[in-house]
Amino acid sequence: MSLPLPRLPLRDELYLLGHDDDTGQLHLHQRALALGLAGAVLIDLFLAGRIHLGPRDDVRAATDQRIRLHTDTPVGDLIADSALSSIRHAAPPLRMWLRTSSTDMYDRTRAGLVAAGILRQHSQRRLGGLLRTDSYQATDRKWAIVARARLRYLVAGREQPDNHTAALAGLTAVLGLTEHLYLDHDTTTVTTHLKAIADQHYQAVRDITTAVDATIGDLATAAYR
């Protein structure tokens, strides 16, 4: 009997859902996904009891809350522990931390997946060998399939979401990845349903997801200036 797959960090599952299983091509803008990955790291730290957000009041918007350390006990994950170090002395504003940390989060997440053997780098040379292009493809589609299946089961009402999967649902919705769950449902309806599922869980997770959405919106606004 085969053993169940270990659950990947939230950022790794989100990375895989953000790419085509076969070609490794992005489903969305890389910068937007990087912000989602940074948010996923914060959510994992919150769920692990390492951080909290605050204060939350009528004056400060939820997306402007500061990230505060609850405990600096290492998680045992290089990216997560690096994030803890960046928060330890600064208590940074949420959106500022997302913008800063997302600059290299995509590359670091991809490198971690390569090191774990979940992704494999493929290099091709074109123009007589003068130009090299790299792509990163899954060594086994099972990781993305399992993550996608959990979300599909939520939409179908076949499972009750745990905190990890609820957070993945919220991030999938705000990043516009719903259509890549390959469901025979209206995309808008599924997105609304995933957001509703996420909203039933921790307030801090909702605030982080909202901050990711708002920061992506800032990028879109800046592009048209």
User: How do the domains of the chain map onto residue ranges?
Assistant: 10-219
Per-residue pLDDT reduced to its tens digit, 41-98: 999 999 999 999 987 655 556 667 999 999 989 999 999 999 999 998 888 999 999 9
DSSP state for residue 184 in the 8-state scheme: S
The domain 10-219 is placed in CATH, from the list 3.40.50.1370, 3.30.1180.20, 3.30.1490.20, 1.10.3630.10, at 1.10.3630.10
Kindly give the pairing relationship between strand 51-54 and strand 66-69.
antiparallel
pLDDT at 1 over 60: no
Global pTM reads 0.91
**What does the alpha-carbon distance between residue 88 and residue 77 come to, in Å, rounded to a whole number?**
16
Per-residue pLDDT reduced to its tens digit, 149-204: 999 999 988 878 899 999 999 999 999 999 999 888 889 999 999 999 999 999 99
**What does the alpha-carbon distance between residue 61 and residue 208 come to, in Å, rounded to a whole number?**
12
Report yes or no: 26 and 33 within 8 Å, Cβ to Cβ.
yes
Per-residue pLDDT reduced to its tens digit, 102-117: 999 999 999 999 999 9
Report yes or no: 195 and 170 within 8 Å, Cβ to Cβ.
yes
Closest to 51 in 3D by CA, of 91, 9, 95: 91
Pure H helices in 19-123: 30-47, 78-88, 94-115
> In DSSP terms, which residues pair with 125 in a beta bridge?
132
∠ CA 114-219-41, nearest 5°, is 40
SS3 212: helix
Per-residue pLDDT reduced to its tens digit, 9-47: 999 999 999 999 999 999 999 999 999 999 999 999 999
